[in-house]
Structure 1
Amino acid sequence: MCSSSSTALEKAVDNSEVTQEEIVLPRRKTWDKLAVLQTLASTVNRDPTAAHYIFQDDPFLMPRNAANSRLYSLSKESGRNAAKYIIQNFPQYFDKTFAEPNVPCLMPETLTPQIEGVSEEALKERIRLRRVKESVDMFDQLVQAGTPVSLETTNSLLDLLSFYGDAESTSEKEEEAKEDLEEPEVNASEQKAPKRQFQRGSQSSGPRWRENNHAERIFKIMPERNAHSYCTMIRGMVKHGAASKAYDMYIDMLNERHKADVHTFNALIKAVPYLKERFIERWELAKEFLTHMAQQEVQPNLLTFNALLKTLRRCGGVGRNMCLMVLKEMEALDIEPSLATYDHLLSIFYRGVDLPQSGIISEVLDEVEKRSFTPQDPDDANFFSTAMQVCCDLKDIKLAYQLNETMAKGDNWKFLDVDRLNGYW
């Protein structure tokens, strides 16, 4: 009897110890900044028949058709940009602070350089303020004066030039536009014509990569270059339409025994259709980049596979044969597809006159309706419009209803902006 009671007592002690080990009381609970708003939003169901939320401030501006919807949305955004322009260019008229307590993030930003003179700190400040022309001029003055510029600062300048394509940032363009208004004698024929897009649908219109521009000139005179320098130049060249230059820069990078990062490989894979003409050559070059990633121990991410699928969209029958292999590789690496992944898949199989059966899109919708997606790729927003167009081409009303139910699930409806929503309906 005593032995059984002692055994029960030992088990109770062991259970209490296990319980004490499992219970961990955190000293502080960290909440997301949007946790309260998300909780409040979850208590209200969305009305699918209501107008877009940007029109709900003024009932008079409720659009009745697609043309009014586009006109009202552009007008509202134009007014918002005009207000930003006034605040940023005339901050002296908005120096009265009546808010208690004062919220600095809601006050006008200081966009004018505060450090005077020619120094590396002044160059860093102009790079941070995204003043492209002033940054280049400051760098040239430092070089002419014999003042060494650190590799980190030079790489930051290359980042700025590669992003803007050796052109002015938005604030500098606004200042030049104001100067043009003050000088009406400038000939209209001297104004620069708008440039073509490098990549339709995914890249915004911007300047092309000029020969021997500021980025290339600064890169050539750098006394020391690291992997960041090469990666920045490659991504900038791909972004602004110089795919062949980007590939040559990548070869030079390999010769210098530097390793590229995953973002650089993603950019190179997107540029494959502009480097090769034949479909099979495009696929072989894409495989070569993937092989280099494995050799350099660079882990692919979701954007890598989406870039590969986007390239396969322009590979004809080769793309149809290889895209399912890409999806299996994603599954092996435990990478969940995004809406852009399914958008590329639909474009591969349903692009052309002879449309296949509705088997692929049925499987895609079955997978999509199981999840609520968050934005991970800029091309995610194209899925619902593409899928609805496929349903329309197949004349399958059941698939269209299934897609519409998927769109209304969770926050998936947020992927449709005003323009895409009009095309969707």
Structure 2
Amino acid sequence: YMFQDDPFLMPRNAANSRLYSLSKESGRNAAKYIIKNFPQYFDKTFAEPNVPCLMPEALTPQIEGVSEEALRERIHLRMQKESVDMFDQLLQAGTPVSLETTNSLLDLLCFYGDDKPTPEKEEEEKESLEEPEHHLIKNLSRENNHAERIFKIMPEKNAHSYCTMIRGMVKHGAYSKAYDMYIDLLNERHKADVHTFNALIRAIPYLKDKFVDRWELTKDFLNQMAQQKVQPTLLTFNSVLKTLRRCGNVGRSVSLLVLKEMEELDIGKRSTVFIICSDYDIPVSPLEHKRCVDCYIWYLSNLAGLLQCCDLKDIKLAYQLNKAMEKGDNWKFLDVDRLNGYWSKFFSLLCMMEQIEVVLKWYKEMSSSLFYPTPKNILDLLQALDAANQLEVIPTVWEDVKNLGFSRRQDLLEEFLSLMSRDQHPSEIQLAFAKCAEEIKAAHEPAGPGQVPLEWTGSALGHVVVLFSRVGRTQDAWNMMEHFQQINRIPTDKVMDEFLNCAKQTNGSDEAIKMVKLAASLGLPSSQRLKSRTEEEFELSETQKKALESIRWDGDSSDSDSSDSDRE
């Protein structure tokens, strides 16, 4: 469950859900910003129970003076300028700095560059970890930056020193320098770690122009990893796939070979195919293999898998995809919009292919916790209920429609009214249907200033009249009948017969006569039949009989003229 707050404040549709989630995350980020930038206002360290990870971090150096311990503290606090200044002061004083501390300073400078870290820059740096962007080509790519200067004057360097510089150069766009630094590392007979190789592989598109040369250099790096006995990781293959994405047809031809190699090394994880699946139209059929199910989570985020399932009407494959999506933290790969889109497609397929009991079970478990049904989902559910002859569930679905804010959707209202008025049901169900019809009627009326009322259609009016008539609400039914003249529509024979049945049950002779007058004024062919029914089935007073006889039929004159001509 995503929402654990006051249920009355919980979002009730997909749009509000997205706003809720973004607001919640924004509030969390705002709190982090305040506590990080204004720690002086959070100096109270008393808490019961005391949870160290929730206490504000001390950002003020506690060690005074110029010493290696003070330098390490400033490096830990990510204070680049102060750390570099103290490092220079130690060298000027003739105090040697240990290799470990110097490497830590290089780590700091290669990650952030020469700029002071800020929350905005840290977020930018996180994004740049995946793929270098041209706007980050600064700091380590320019001459005489602090990292290069300190690296050059280091009396002793180890593999960590070289690897840190290589990763920093790739990160900040100095690709040629990074490759030259790797050659220096090999000349010094050091070995690169897996993270350095990953960075170098990501830099290949910026080192070589031709697609073939890029793939050859990629293979070269992979062979060197094997020679140096460096075990590739998931990130290694992700880096390879990202490089292949920039290798055109060459990348298309070898990408599946890379996936096969991953399979043999038991590195077939879900994120490894994110890159190639979007560019190379890989079919969903390999999902029969368990490991491929984990890999093809990309299809879920793109909804391509479920679209194929819907086209093929393959519910088993949809369940298999859903099992992969629910495995572990796979759902986190779908943002709020795509997550709701995924569940919407999945539920539509359930309505199409599953038994109604299964559909209702999923609907109960999914609603308000996993997804917010779209109008199409509601229509699919209504069709499934109709096919299974379980229309008694409609009032419950209508409550959800109101909560979702769809109570003014004309297509939904028409479908609800059509299903509820089509057949006769037991009295308890009819009362529930009439209540729904009353609320739908209210949706057609202005609820407040500036709100435009919905326009009545002839079919919607007729359905409401039928629903009111079946529960004996004669006056309400007649009020709806009067709307037909206002919108210039003609009620059907079924609507008028239902109304007369209701008037008969409630001894509403006056309403029956009004019905006959309305039919006559509209010139309906059934008006004579309605008059006959009224005379036969109702106990009319003399006044009512005269009123019935005095009704003027629009077709009387024309009928008489035609009869006279026939006689002649």
Pairwise TM-score range, normalised by the shorter structure: 0.5 to 0.7
Moved more, 237-246 or 76-85: 76-85
Moved more, 154-163 or 126-135: 126-135
Amino-acid identity (%): 64
Deviation at 1:369, TM superposition (A): 7.1
Q: 1:122-201 counterparts in 2 under 5 A?
A: 122-170=70-118
Instruction: Report the CA distance shift for 1:417/1:86 in structure 2 as closer, same or farther (over 3 A).
Output: same
Q: CA–CA distance in 2 between the matches of 1:231 and 1:330?
A: 25
Question: Could you say which residue in structure 1 is the equivalent of 2:254?
Answer: 322
Is residue 105 of structure 1 aligned with residue 35 of structure 2? no
Match of 1:223 among 147, 152, 155: 155
Question: Could you say which residue in structure 1 is the equivalent of 2:333?
Answer: 415
Instruction: Report the CA distance shift for 1:124/1:403 in structure 2 as closer, same or farther (over 3 A).
Output: same
Is residue 406 of structure 1 aligned with residue 329 of structure 2? no
Counterpart amino acid of residue 337 in structure 1: G
Question: Could you say which residue in structure 2 is the equivalent of 1:239?
Answer: 171
Secondary structure of 2:284 counterpart: helix
Question: Could you say which residue in structure 2 is the equivalent of 1:288?
Answer: 220
Instruction: Report the CA distance shift for 1:264/1:419 in structure 2 as closer, same or farther (over 3 A).
Output: farther
Instruction: Report the CA distance shift for 1:410/1:289 in structure 2 as closer, same or farther (over 3 A).
Output: closer
Q: CA–CA distance in 2 between the matches of 1:114 and 1:239?
A: 32
Deviation at 1:159, TM superposition (A): 0.7
Question: Could you say which residue in structure 1 is the equivalent of 2:518?
Answer: none
Q: CA–CA distance in 2 between the matches of 1:312 and 1:395?
A: 31
Question: Could you say which residue in structure 2 is the equivalent of 1:362?
Answer: 285
Is residue 301 of structure 1 aligned with residue 233 of structure 2? yes
Q: CA–CA distance in 1 between the matches of 2:103 and 2:175?
A: 21
Give the structure with the larger helix fraction.
2
Counterpart amino acid of residue 301 in structure 2: S
Question: Could you say which residue in structure 1 is the equivalent of 2:271?
Answer: 340
Q: Give per-residue Cα distances to partners, 1:301-328, cap 9 Å, x unaligned.
A: 2222222122112212212221222233
Question: Could you say which residue in structure 2 is the equivalent of 1:384?
Answer: 300
Q: Give per-residue Cα distances to partners, 1:132-157, cap 9 Å, x unaligned.
A: 22212221222222221111101001
Deviation at 1:393, TM superposition (A): 9.2
Q: Give per-residue Cα distances to partners, 1:171-208, cap 9 Å, x unaligned.
A: 6979xxxxxxxxxxxxxxxxxxx99x868x75689743
Secondary structure of 2:226 counterpart: helix
Q: Give per-residue Cα distances to partners, 1:358-380, cap 9 Å, x unaligned.
A: 6x322147435755x9xxxxxx9
Q: What is the RMSD computed on CA atoms of the aligned residues? A: 3.4
Instruction: Report the CA distance shift for 1:73/1:259 in structure 2 as closer, same or farther (over 3 A).
Output: same
Q: CA–CA distance in 1 between the matches of 2:323 and 2:109?
A: 44
Deviation at 1:261, TM superposition (A): 0.8
Q: Give per-residue Cα distances to partners, 1:105-126, cap 9 Å, x unaligned.
A: 3322222110011111111001
Secondary structure of 2:86 counterpart: helix
Deviation at 1:392, TM superposition (A): 5.2
Counterpart amino acid of residue 284 in structure 2: I
Counterpart amino acid of residue 113 in structure 1: P
Moved more, 406-415 or 146-155: 406-415
Q: Whose radius of gyration is greater, 1 or 2?
A: 2
Matched length: 333
Q: 1:17-32 counterparts in 2 under 5 A?
A: none
Q: CA–CA distance in 1 between the matches of 2:168 and 2:312?
A: 44
Structure 1 residue ranges without an equivalent (≥5): 1-51, 175-193, 351-357, 374-379
Deviation at 1:348, TM superposition (A): 4.5
Q: Give per-residue Cα distances to partners, 1:20-62, cap 9 Å, x unaligned.
A: xxxxxxxxxxxxxxxxxxxxxxxxxxxxxxxx61x44244251
Preserved contact between residue 132 and residue 170 of structure 2 (Cα < 8 Å): no
Counterpart amino acid of residue 165 in structure 1: G
Preserved contact between residue 42 and residue 56 of structure 2 (Cα < 8 Å): no
Q: CA–CA distance in 2 between the matches of 1:203 and 1:381?
A: 25
Question: Could you say which residue in structure 1 is the equivalent of 2:26?
Answer: 78
Deviation at 1:394, TM superposition (A): 11
Structure 2 residue ranges without an equivalent (≥5): 345-568
Preserved contact between residue 269 and residue 291 of structure 2 (Cα < 8 Å): no
